[in-house]
Chain A
Amino acid sequence: MGFDYSGFAGRRPRVAVHKFSSCDGCQLAFLNAGEALLAVSELVEFVHFAEAGPVDPDAPADIAFIEGSVSTPEERERLDHIRAHTGYLISIGACATSGGLQALRNLYADGVDTWRQAVYASPEYVASLDTATPVAEHVKVDLEIWGCPVNTAQVVGVLHDLLHGVQPTQSRDKVCLECKRQNAVCVMVAKGMPCMGPVTQTGCGAICPRYGRDCYACYGPAETVNTDAQGNRLIELGLQPADVTRRFHFINSHAPAFRAAGNKHRSE
């Protein structure tokens, strides 16, 4: 039957927000909530949320939000520890759900060494794994919230459902439907821009096309994506194969659908 959601109803669950390899941007989904954050903090007890105040990374939690990918040996151990002390574990953001930008190194056999040498003055002080990987590759994840960054509505929606004792839902529809609901003009059809909306998961409110920009797939793959058709269309719109690879690999290169689609044009 899976997780018993009724356990949270009518309680003030303990919530932890943990950071792994990331930019901290997804934690802003809480901090940007404004007044809603006050409401949230009355409904839940934040036992660990370094960016907002309470610091107790070892505290047992009913619900833990994990931001960031697993990219160091220390993170690998810390994640096991958190999982063991958490009831319901949620990975938030591109880094935690698909490895994020830093997972680009997974695509290159010698990526981590080459780039560590190139980036850091004293690379010997940097302890990192060869790969940056999503949380779900290491421990059981109860729910993933995709996005780079995730937004307040997503996080509040999930907390709302848990507090009501029901299984949270996340729409995995394409960005296009929301783009049309917002009465935005399709930038792909009207301007020939290489928009990734048709393969990208909704949740952002179609913010880029509403401002005349092409979606760059920061929310990761949608359900039932046809990356072959999308890739072919990008070529028809004038992109070089290497550019198509970049479109798929930009933010969520470790998400299987995007990784395969990008690699297909990379090898051509």
Chain B
Amino acid sequence: MGKSHRVLASHALDTLLAALRDDGYRCVGPQLRDGAIVFDTLHHAADLPWGWQDEQAPGHYRLQHADPSRAFAWANGPQAIKPLTFAPRETLWESRIEADGRMQFTATLPAEEKVAVIGARACDLAALRLQDQHFLEGAHADPYYAARRRNLFIVAVHCTAPAATCFCASTGDGPLCTAGFDLALHETDEGYLVDAGSEAGTAMIASLSLPAATATRVEQAETAVAAAGERQTRGLPSRNLRDLLFANLDHPQWDDVAARCLSCGNCTAVCPTCFCHAEHDVPLLDANLGRHEREWDSCFTEGHSYLAGIVIRSDTRLRYRQWLTHKLGGWHDQYGRSGCTGCGRCITWCPVGIDLTEEVARIHATGGGHD
């Protein structure tokens, strides 16, 4: 593992997909759909978004033509790994009342399906690491997440095309993928440079019998990735904003953002680290049957903070403040770092273009951030 890059010709991407399929994986990768780059089952390398890049700005996402020899000349789409491991909606268990009155519970764990995700970015890997911490590493591991996670093979692609909304360099999570992948690819003018990050990845490379890459080519590729980081213009003033935010719970900026915020929850739904979910029973007309589901929830709903007839966060100001103080504050206590990996999705996919880096900057500028 490490600096032992191999060369995979551009036309040989299908060889990699075939090898993954031979190992029993369903390949999931980026492709164009409905005006965006989305992750879905990938049958052929030709289905990758060759020659497309994304133009992103607050509340704005458009695809544009780019170098046709590149399949990864874009930053990211609305989702990547999160829906593959933390399902947007799933049944947790079913209950049945038998004729004798006994109640039976049956867990409905997801089928063991090996999935290889191609095209994950450094920000996505950092987010997955945080989701692993949340769902797997506490006193109670989540078996539903675990069943998907242990079957995941990750082919990351180092990012050379950050969008205007990206700030992974600022959060320290990218654009170079440094951990959390099985394979990582550099996309270059002369094909791909492949490196392994796990035993499974090493075995995969070995099975493909690829020639070694020269140190010069690896250096050039890494320089291109570093340059991508330097092109990023957005950022957060610090990697730990916990004390700043909790010291500014009455800052007027919360009112300012509440006047613009739709409280729609899009930011939390596209965030690769947001983990909130609601559980409820599905109404079934057969009173002897029960079906218990969970689905993505958001701290921007009234139900999120509902408690015995009252809503603790009844207005948008309190909900946005909860989101930001948790994402950039509470996460440090919970998981030892910020919950933001700089992917910028919350900025792009906010229908009204609220930019958390800007909100933070204003609080930082006037709320004692320079002390």
* Contact present between A and B (CB < 8 A): yes
Q: What does the 1/0 interface line of B200-221 toward A look like (CB < 8 Å)?
A: 0000000000000000000000
With A and B bound together, what is the CA distance between A223 and B38 in angstroms? 30
B270-294: which have CB < 8 Å to A?
270, 283-287
- Across the interface, do A185 and B285 meet the contact criterion of CB distance under 8 Å? no
- Across the interface, do B283 and A191 meet the contact criterion of CB distance under 8 Å? no
Number of A-B contacts (CB under 8 A): 123
Given contacts A181-B296, A190-B62, contact A198 B88 (CB under 8 A): no
State how many angstroms separate the Cβ of B299 from the closest Cβ of chain A: 11
With A and B bound together, what is the CA distance between A157 and B285 in angstroms? 8
Q: What does the 1/0 interface line of A149-167 toward B look like (CB < 8 Å)?
A: 0000100110111011000
Question: Which residue among A161, A189, A229 has the maximum number of chain B CB atoms within 10 Å of its CB?
Answer: A189
Interface-located stretch among A35-43, A68-76, A77-85, A258-266? A35-43
State how many angstroms separate the Cβ of A258 from the closest Cβ of chain B: 15
Contacts of A195 in B (CB 8 A): 351
Interface size on B, residues (CB 8 A): 46
- Across the interface, do A191 and B35 meet the contact criterion of CB distance under 8 Å? yes
- Across the interface, do A181 and B302 meet the contact criterion of CB distance under 8 Å? no
- Across the interface, do B302 and A176 meet the contact criterion of CB distance under 8 Å? no
- Across the interface, do A160 and B285 meet the contact criterion of CB distance under 8 Å? yes
Given contacts A181-B296, A229-B352, contact A198 B60 (CB under 8 A): no
Contacts of A173 in B (CB 8 A): 265, 298, 301-303
With A and B bound together, what is the CA distance between A43 and B350 in angstroms? 45
- Across the interface, do A176 and B265 meet the contact criterion of CB distance under 8 Å? yes
CB-nearest residue of chain B to A39: B285
- Across the interface, do A233 and B285 meet the contact criterion of CB distance under 8 Å? no
State the majority secondary structure of interface residues on B.
loop
Does any Cβ of A come within 8 Å of B33's Cβ?
yes
- Across the interface, do A176 and B269 meet the contact criterion of CB distance under 8 Å? yes
With A and B bound together, what is the CA distance between A206 and B1 in angstroms? 45
- Across the interface, do B88 and A189 meet the contact criterion of CB distance under 8 Å? no
Does any Cβ of B come within 8 Å of A180's Cβ?
yes
Does any Cβ of B come within 8 Å of A123's Cβ?
no
State how many angstroms separate the Cβ of A190 from the closest Cβ of chain B: 4
Interface size on A, residues (CB 8 A): 44
State the majority secondary structure of interface residues on A.
helix
Does any Cβ of B come within 8 Å of A91's Cβ?
no
Does any Cβ of B come within 8 Å of A172's Cβ?
yes
With A and B bound together, what is the CA distance between A153 and B284 in angstroms? 10
Contacts of B61 in A (CB 8 A): 186, 189-190
Q: What does the 1/0 interface line of B54-89 toward A look like (CB < 8 Å)?
A: 000001111000000000000001110001000011
Does any Cβ of B come within 8 Å of A131's Cβ?
no
Does any Cβ of B come within 8 Å of A174's Cβ?
yes
Does any Cβ of B come within 8 Å of A188's Cβ?
yes
Does any Cβ of B come within 8 Å of A267's Cβ?
no
Given contacts A182-B88, A184-B34, contact A40 B285 (CB under 8 A): yes
State how many angstroms separate the Cβ of A63 from the closest Cβ of chain B: 15
Does any Cβ of B come within 8 Å of A52's Cβ?
no
- Across the interface, do A189 and B59 meet the contact criterion of CB distance under 8 Å? yes
- Across the interface, do B83 and A183 meet the contact criterion of CB distance under 8 Å? yes
Find A176's partner among B60, B264, B284 (CB 8 Å cutoff): B264
Residues of chain B touching chain A, judged by Cβ–Cβ distance below 8 Å, are 33-36, 38, 59-62, 77-79, 83, 88-89, 259-266, 269-270, 283-287, 295-298, 301-303, 314-316, 319, 348-352
**10 further A-B pairs in the complex, CB-CB below 8 A; given A39-B286, A199-B262, A233-B59:** A43-B285, A157-B283, A176-B265, A176-B351, A181-B296, A183-B88, A185-B77, A186-B61, A189-B348, A189-B350
